[in-house]
Chains A and B, each alone.
Chain A
Amino acid sequence: MIDETGRIAAPAAQAAETRRDEESIPKLPAYSVIQQQLIDARDRLDREVTRLTRMHAFNARALRLDDDAEFIQAVAEAIVDIFELEFGTCWLFDDSGRIGEPIGILGLQAEMGCLHEAGSRLALSIASTPASQRAVVLAPEALAEIAPGIPIGQGIGAPCLSADGRLLALLAGGNTVSGLGFFEPATPELGEVFSLFAQQLAALIETRTGRATIEHQMTDLRRANQRLSMAVEVTQLVFWELDFVTGRLQFDHTTLPTLGLAANDPPDSLQDWVARIHPDDQAPFAEHVERAVIAVDSIFDFEYRMAYKRDEYQWIHTKGRIVERGEDGQPLLAVGTSMNITGRKEIEESVRTSEAQSRNLAAMLRLMCDNVPDMIWAKDLEDRYLFANKATCEQLLNAVDTNEPVGKTELDFALRERASRPEDPRWHTFGEHCQNSDVVTLVRGKSSVFEEYGNIKGKLVYLDVHKAPFRNETGKVIGTVGSARDISERKEFEAELELHRHRLEELVAQRTAELLETEARASHILRSSADGLFGVNSSGIITFVNPAACEMLGYQAEEVIGQSAHELFHHSRSDGTPYPADACPSHNALSLGQMARVDDEVYWHRDGHAIPVMYATHPMVQEGKVSGGVTSFVDMSEQREVARAREMALLAAENLARARSEFLANMSHEIRTPLNGVLGFAQIGYRNCEDSDKARNAFEKILTSGKLLLGIIDEILDFSKIEAGKLGVEQMEVSLVEVVGHAVELIGDRARAKRLEVRVRLESDLPATCISDPLRLGQVLINLLSNAVKFTEAGSVELSVSRQRDNLLFRVSDTGIGISADQLAQLFNPFQQADGSTSRRFGGTGLGLAISKRILELMGGHIRVESRLGVGSTFEFQLPYVPAVGGTTDPIAAPIANAPRIDKPLTGVTILVAEDNLINQMVLEETLGDDGARVVLASNGQEAVQRVIRDGRAAYDLVLMDMQMPEMDGLEATRRILAFAPDLPIIGQTAHAFSEEREKCFAAGMVAHIAKPIDPDELVQLVQTYVAARRGNRAPRVPPIPKTGNP
């Protein structure tokens, strides 16, 4: 709220205080400043409280930090946090006053070496100050000396001193030059708190140090105890002490269980101890005690059994000695240990048992070895026998008994044998031709098998020898062990087999050579084939492939063989979708045993592109079963490419034709629309200028020229449709009289202008109707008749129509200029007239005859011509005669006659004209008005609908409807009008000259269609026809024939 002076009125909520505020306004700024000072003071207090709180929190946390690095870093962070300085640093000093590592730092980037030096300088600097135990605020100059190269703008340092004045640590904090803009300045006031923090930290460090020392000593003690406990636990010793004076026996009771004695029931005297000893051991125990008592320095050492349960004993080993005697030599105190040795005793017993078992085992082994037929032995490293079984002694060594070989070598026995038959050097040669298998075995260090041979007692013997290194219990090799079996008989048998095998191999080699030769020939054929060939087994696995196939598929033969043909290159269809093997013709050829031939699939090249192929798979049948198949294939890429190119060219040609057709259609539309106006107004002018010959003449020329232009457009359009294959012929019931009459009527004016006689002769057997295309038939007739009139200067033109069996024969004769023989040959070619001068003299496109010929051919007919120069020409064409179903075949009775024109034929007729083009509106209004009609105009379809609905069903006799209009087109308007007035005849008019347009008209419900430019006479005739039909409540029998040349 502002008053007129621009002063702010008090807020509404404070209306009651407005007066007081206004009075105090001059003082308010000062009040604000003071209030702010109070707030700031309160804030400082808050911050000091916070600072102390955080110091306390730091102390609590630091006490838990055992690691020096963590601790010192926490100190640096605390300096930054508590004092809100940019950086904090802490150096720890050892007992000798040197800086230790690590150094705590936060918020400052500096190398460790620099920090060391800075710490040392700072320590010196502080020590040199008067109050060296306090914090020192450092000026920039001092900082530059302490930490050169580090851009410190402001700093504060404080020592942490022990109770005895030793430097424990040094703290520093501050701000860099760039941080001065933001951080708190290091003031003397801050220094006081900094000192306090340093003192607290010193106490903390001392506490940490003292605690560390105690913890160290405690740790040593705990370790010593642990070691002792472990020793006692491991040795299972029980310490005891025997007081001979009192007879008391003392133990550490906790150790008694190791002796099997209960800790709560210890033997408390020597007698009690002895009572628990096995009865058999009590006396020896007593003897040992007695000897120890008697003999000075004698040690009691005895093993005995002691009960730990009823009738169950453990072995105890007790050692002890007298450690104190009286002056009389009597024992006073003995100490010693006892140990449970039950385990050891059990081991000793086990060893004894084991030794006995070993002896038994040796005897058993000897017995077994001596009773097996194989030779078994053991030798030391010098080849001396340690053991030889009976078979070895008998079969190999010829030893006296099994003891004889021990300590002797095999050579000793061989020499003895040879010495017994010096005359026969082959008497004993065993082993001489073989390798030293003992050495080989030792070198190998593992079990080995040998085959050794030689003569024993004159007979060739083969032995199958097994040898192994002989190791003692420590694993050391001390010799060899071996066994051997006589395999002489088996060797003889094998020799015989070898001979047979050798013969067989020779036979196989011979057969193989023959096969290879056959294969080589087959392989050559495969390699030479330009087609791809591969063979598969019954599972579809490739067994061979020829180079052509490899080249086409991009694989090496070795990459393909062994692979599934389908999975390797026939896995997908041409569109990339998976091709299940079950659906593959090659696969089916194998499963069904039938040949398959395919020409529209692809194989896949190794690089991923598809190869269109034609392939044939022939199953291979052996013994009634399919053993595989052979597939030959051809790369169809080129053929497909050619076909594709052909299709593309065809498509391009079709597109071109379609484009041309559409262009021509549009051009036709664009020309017809203005031409409609030109011709319409020319017609109007012509009719209304009866008094002026000159004007009438001029309008007549405009009309003639316009119609000529229209004819040219129609011909070009027709020809383009024929070229594009779009010209169709219809099949409907046709009145020949009407078609012929219409054609003759159309050329009537021109013939009369040239004073030519036009004769029409319809034979008496000519049927009245037939099935044909009235439009096209009329077009041909008009073309021929027009030409006849055009090229005839005097005489007559005659049209005759007759039926000859199944054909209708049409003949147009004239007495015109005629055509030469040369010209006749080119006559039906497009753009050809008799000669170039013809065009200049008579005009025309030269398309008419070409179009007529094509139309007739489409209708199943043909045309021919006879002519003589200067005499005249006769064009004759035949069409198949198809009788109309239900129509009359009666010959026509009445000759054609031109109906006389009636003045104002449309008098009394009201026509609604829907037309958006202003020129066309004027033309129609004038044309129809001249003929007596009352014309009501609507500028679009919607307006036409509204008019009919507003004025009523009976208001109009007929509607002339344009097709293309804004707001609502003619088709939609027609449908809506007919929904309201179903009997109202509607005639469509359009500048599009295609039959499709006409069909759309009829589909919408129109009764007829007239193409622009509109022929006034034709229009009038149409209007008359349908108005009469409506008034007579009947429709015309067939749609009236549209205007010439308008398809």
Chain B
Amino acid sequence: MLEFFSASTRMANPRRAITECLEVALGLDDQDCDLVIVNASIGHDLGELIAQTRVKCPSARVVATSCAGVVGREGVSESMKDVALMAIRGREFAVAHKNGIFGHNSFEKAVELATALKQAEPATSMVYLICPGIDIDNNGVISGFESVFGPEVTLFGATASDNMRGTATFQAVDGQVFQHAAFAVGFADPTLEVDTQAPHGFVAIGEPLVVTRAEGHRIFELDGRPAWPEYLVKLGLPATATLADTIPIGALAEQLSPELAGEYGNEHILRVVTHHDADGALQYATSCAAGTRLWLTMRDEERIFKDLDRLIVAMERQARGRKPVAVFQADCLARGRRLFNRIMKEELVQRMQHPFSTDGTPPPWLGMYGFGEYARLGGANAYHNYTTALAALYRK
């Protein structure tokens, strides 16, 4: 039976950061465990963090991802030197990874990854998934996984990120650090089940932009014009604007079917632009066919809070009085300090953690600010942007 332990800290020294987290999570006596999942701000060297983790936990598999900030039981932090980790004891899991995953081969690589995971642990019932945040087709990733596991196995997790610059994102498995790898942790504890939710709280505005030329996840033209310049124009940004300037205000909305919209609490699902190429093409988070209509959006703080409350209510209903044994949170980096001030951010996290807490103490909690989030929608797995996605693991 799997057991979960978490901790987070902001600390410049990677060895001390890991040591402190493990001591907080597992106590001073015995910090060895079977799996450690690390989220670290982009300013940390994942290699150093993993090396120290393996010193402290010689028996453990270690996976890590870069992000723009972390959330833990201790709260939220978005510096360049944040670390959060989830230490797990128990054998009912497997880890697999595949390097060299890009937008053009996302489906094939996801099939390979899922196949390897299934071979390692056929009883996998839920998957914690981390993919690169840049140059990735997340629809392809999900399709690849579902072609192996079927839609009934829940995917949760995120795409890695940097600090919103769109330069590079990193993933690490045991001793190796990658820039274009995906890793998956398959949980096969028969006593566990998972519930996921992901609201965003944005509203679509104005007339849609029409994708007039695209290939896979790359959009070359919007409304017949080169995509990146047109995107900046529509956003009201100068031509010199950077990706970091666009992300907070540049969420693009795709329309959902009425059935999905009802469940989602919003008629649109949002997508982020994670990179733009020298030829003016946008790197979209999922595949996007020509003819797709994309709306600009506006953030609505009131709605963000309301949707978050709706998420909590839905998850409490699903919990049926139980407290989760662990919570994995994936937040869009655009919902961090570029959206809320520190006090609001902490209030949001407090609102999320309070219903899951016991005597004021949240359950083991591992969160990150990444480029995108995996959570279920309409009875299948889905990819989201600009959301807060929670995956709560309960004992059956």
> Taking beta carbons and an 8 Å cutoff, which residues of A are in contact with B?
1-2, 5-8, 10-11, 13-14, 21, 25-26, 28-30, 32-33, 35-36, 39-40, 42-43, 46-47, 50, 77-78, 80-81, 84, 86, 88, 106-107, 181-184
Contact = CB atoms under 8 A, between A and B. Distances in A.
- Tell me the interface secondary structure of chain B in the complex: loop
Contact of A32 (B208, B235, B266): B235
Interface string B331-358: 0000001111110000000000000000
A84 B43 contact: yes
Given A81-B12, A106-B12, A39 B206 contact: no
B292 to A, nearest CB: 12
B298 interface: yes
A7 B209 CA distance: 10
B192 interface: no
Given A181-B167, A182-B165, A86 B293 contact: no
A182 B42 contact: yes
A46 B267 CA distance: 34
Nearest to A25: B206
Contacts of A8: 204-206, 208, 267, 295
Contact of A33 (B42, B165, B235): B235
B373 interface: no
- Tell me the interface secondary structure of chain A in the complex: helix
B209 to A, nearest CB: 10
A84 B342 contact: no
Question: Chain B: interface residue count, which band?
Answer: 35 or more
A181 B168 contact: yes
Contact of B296 (A5, A10, A29, A81): A29
B237 interface: yes
Contact of A183 (B80, B296, B337): B80
Given A25-B206, A84-B80, 4 more contacts: A50-B79, A81-B11, A84-B81, A183-B43
Contacts of A28: 205-206, 296, 298
A43 B207 contact: no
Contacts of A181: 162, 165, 167-168
Contact of B81 (A11, A42, A46, A81): A81
A50 to B, nearest CB: 8
A33 B249 contact: yes
Contacts of B81: 80-81, 84
B267 A1 contact: yes
Nearest 4 A/B pairs, CB to CB: A29-B236, A181-B167, A81-B12, A80-B12
Nearest to A14: B203
Looking at B12, B255, B295, B299, the one whose CB has the most chain A CB atoms below 10 A away is: B12
A21 B203 CA distance: 11
Contacts of A46: 337, 341-342
Contacts of B248: 36, 39
A36 B338 contact: yes
Given A8-B295, A11-B267, A36-B338, A182 B43 contact: yes
A11 B162 CA distance: 33
B12 A11 contact: no
B205 A77 contact: no
Contacts of B245: 36
Contacts of A107: 12
Nearest to B306: A13
Contacts of B322: none
B303 interface: yes
A449 B364 CA distance: 83
Interface of B: 10-13, 42-43, 79-81, 162-163, 165, 167-168, 203-208, 234-237, 245, 248-249, 255, 266-267, 293, 295-296, 298-299, 303, 337-342
A6 B249 contact: no
Contacts of A106: 12-13
A39 B12 contact: no
Nearest to A7: B207
A30 B236 CA distance: 5
Nearest to A83: B80
A653 B165 CA distance: 82
12 contacts: A5-B207, A7-B207, A11-B266, A28-B206, A28-B298, A30-B236, A32-B235, A32-B236, A32-B249, A46-B341, A182-B162, A182-B167
B98 to A, nearest CB: 25
A175 to B, nearest CB: 10
Contacts of B204: 8
Given A33-B235, A33-B236, A181-B168, A77 B207 contact: no
B246 to A, nearest CB: 10
Nearest to A181: B167
Contacts of B168: 181
Contacts of B342: 46, 50
Contacts of A184: 80
A184 B164 CA distance: 12
Contacts of A11: 203, 266-267
A727 B267 CA distance: 84
Contacts of A50: 79, 342
A6 B165 contact: no
Contacts of A2: 255
A711 B252 CA distance: 90
A210 B266 CA distance: 66
Contacts of A42: 341
A1 B299 CA distance: 18
Contact of B249 (A1, A26, A29, A47): A29
A182 B205 contact: no
Contacts of B237: 33
A32 B80 contact: no
Contacts of B337: 43, 46-47
A11 B200 CA distance: 14
Looking at B43, B162, B295, the one whose CB has the most chain A CB atoms below 10 A away is: B43
A466 to B, nearest CB: 65
A29 B235 CA distance: 5
A29 B232 CA distance: 10
A40 B338 CA distance: 6
A29 B162 contact: no
Given A29-B236, A84-B43, A39 B207 contact: no
Contacts of A21: 205
A6 B293 contact: yes
A681 B340 CA distance: 97
A181 B243 CA distance: 12
Contacts of B267: 1, 8, 11
Contact of B205 (A25, A30, A40, A88): A25
B276 to A, nearest CB: 15
Nearest to B268: A8
A46 B162 CA distance: 20
A1 B261 CA distance: 10
Nearest to A1: B267
B205 to A, nearest CB: 5
B163 A182 contact: yes
Given A36-B248, A84-B43, A182-B42, A77 B203 contact: no
Contacts of A47: 337
Contacts of B80: 84, 182-184
A57 to B, nearest CB: 11
